[in-house]
Amino acid sequence: MIDAIKNSFKGFDPNNLDFSTAGTWPIGAKVVSYMLLFIGVIMLGVHFYIGDKEQLLNNKIRIEAKLKKDYAAVSNQVANLAGLRQQMADVEEQFKEIQRQLPTKKEVPGLLEDITNIGIASGLTIDSISLQAERKDKYYIELPIHISAKGSYHQVGNFVSGIAGIKRIVTLHDFKLTPSSPGMLNITLTAKTYRNDDD
C-alpha cells in the first residue's frame, strides 16, 4: 500500500494541482489532501469547541477555589461563634459597669461633696471647688470641676490617690503646682466627670 502511494507520486508536480479536477489526482495526493483536511477539521473543532469548554472549566475551578475559601472563613466564624457571643456578653457587662460609674445629674452635688471630703481628709486647704459649664459630646456630657487648694507635696499625692479611688469615673486635667511657702504648694486642676446624655 505504501509502495503504491509512493509510486503514485512519481512524475507528480504539486504545482499543477487543480481543485476542479481533484477526482483525477493520484491516490497519494488524495490521501495527503484528506489527511490535511481531517487534521484541519480536528484542529478547528478543538479550537472552537474544546477551547470554550476549557475556558468554562477554568472559570468553574476559580469559582470553586473562591467558594472553598469563603466556606473556610464562614466555618471558622461558626466554630468561634460561642466564644464571640461570650466576648460580646462580657463587653456588654463591662459597658453596663462603666455606665453605673457615670454619675447622674442628681448625683453631681454628692460628687462635689466627695471631692471636698477627700481634699480635707488628705490635709489640703480647699480654696474653691466650682462646677464649670457642661460640655456636650457625641456620646456623653462632660462635667468639669475646677479645684484650687494648698498643701504639701504628700498631701497633693494623697488627694490625687483619693480621687482615683472614687467609684465614679473622674479624670484629672490641667495640673498647676506653684510653691507658696516652704514645703507648701498651690494647686489648681480640673477634675472631669461624665454622665449620659439621656438622664
Q: pLDDT, tens digit, for every residue of 89-130?
A: 888 888 777 766 666 666 667 778 888 888 889 888 888 888
Q: What is the pTM of this model?
A: 0.49
Q: What is the pLDDT of residue 66?
A: 93
Higher-pLDDT residue of 127 and 6 is: 127
Of all residues in the chain, the percent with pLDDT exceeding 70 is 80
Give the per-residue pLDDT at 33: 80
Q: How many CB atoms lie within 10 A of CB 125?
A: 13
CATH code, 102-195: 3.30.70.60
* Residue 63 banded pLDDT, cuts 50, 70, 90: very high
Q: Which of 148, 154, 147, 150 is nearest to 171 (CA)?
A: 147
pLDDT digits (tens, 9 = 90+) for 143-166: 898 999 998 889 988 988 888 888
The pLDDT of residue 62: 92
**Cβ atoms within 10 Å, residue 89:** 10
From the CB of residue 123, how many other CB atoms can be counted at a distance below 10 Å?
13
